[in-house]
Structure 1
Amino acid sequence: MRIWSEVPKRRTQEVVADLATAVWVAFWGYLGLQLYGTLSQLSTVGVNIGETGAGLERAAATLRLGLSQVPLIGEGVGDLLGG
């Protein structure tokens, strides 16, 4: 069993088509790896943003608790800050 044709012109066409297909597959594989790397970096940024938001929420809760204990204005300020 032969992989390519025995006719020289047809064999050349088949080899060129096979090489073009291999280059095409390699290109899309490379592009996929680049996309994966980019999305991995973006997910790291997203995690950092989430952690920062959680820290802000904790700081606001602490501020709300502290201000709610101030006489006369504490209750109103605590309500304004989401308490």
Structure 2
Amino acid sequence: MRWYADAPARRSRQVLADLLVLGWVVLWVLVGRLVFDLVMTLAAPAVPLRAAGTGLESRMEEVAGRVTEIPLVGDELDAPFTGAAGVGTDLVTAADRLETGVRTVAWLVSVLSTVTPVLIVVLLWLVLRLSWVRRARSLGRELHDPRSQELLALRALVHQHPRRLQQLSDDPVAAWRSGDPATIRALADLELAEVGLRARPGPG
């Protein structure tokens, strides 16, 4: 499968288009990364919340452990401190849920902001490139077959602008009908050059 033209000018434009599309993709990937980081700043409160919950839980568990050592009333005093330790655990859980929720939203927003512009440009590039590939493949099958030059010349008579045809011959249709080799080769080369394929050299 031919992806690039033989003609240097056409091939350069195709390579430039590929680089521009690649640059567009990289740009929006970086934008998506930036959007992700910006949304993740909303999860900043989760850090002190988790630290507070962890600290409260550990301190209350430590106090509860010491209270139980008090004779007679130690077991009864243990419950309030154990409950306070549970509050610390709830704070840690809330911080984890906050961070998870913000991370999910950050992924969704960043993916949508990246995929939408990238998909539009890549699909447009792909349609244009595949259209050229199909036409180049169709003509390329006949590129190395000398007997197909007449068919290429006929395509040129149908597709090319009359002014370009008259630059090759005063009456290109009559020349094609008469089987003039030079005119047929020039017409075939004109049709091939339309898609950037390299023209066949003439004999001798």
Q: What runs of 5+ residues in structure 2 fail to find an aligned partner?
A: 1-71, 137-190, 198-204
| AA of the residue aligned to 2:192 | L
Deviations 1:41-80 (A, max 9, x none): 1111211332112321122213444x349x4374x9xxxx
Q: What is the TM-score normalised by the length of structure 2?
A: 0.28
Q: Which structure has the larger Rg?
A: 2
Aligned to 2:192: 72
3-state SS, counterpart of residue 20 of structure 1: helix
| AA of the residue aligned to 1:15 | P
Q: What is the TM-score normalised by the length of structure 1?
A: 0.60
When the two chains are superposed, the root-mean-square deviation of aligned CA atoms in Å is 2.6
Identity of counterpart residues, as a percentage?
4
- The reply to whether residue 46 of structure 1 matches residue 111 of structure 2 is yes
Moved over 2 A (4+): 62-65, 71-74
Cα distance in structure 2, aligned partners of 1:14 and 1:54: 62
Q: 1:13 aligns with which of 51, 63, 78?
A: 78
Q: What runs of 5+ residues in structure 1 fail to find an aligned partner?
A: 1-6, 77-83
Instruction: Tell me how many residue pairs correspond in the alignment.
Output: 67
Aligned to 1:62: 128
Considering Cα pairs closer than 8 Å and 6+ residues apart, tell me whether 1 or 2 has the greater RCO.
Answer: 2
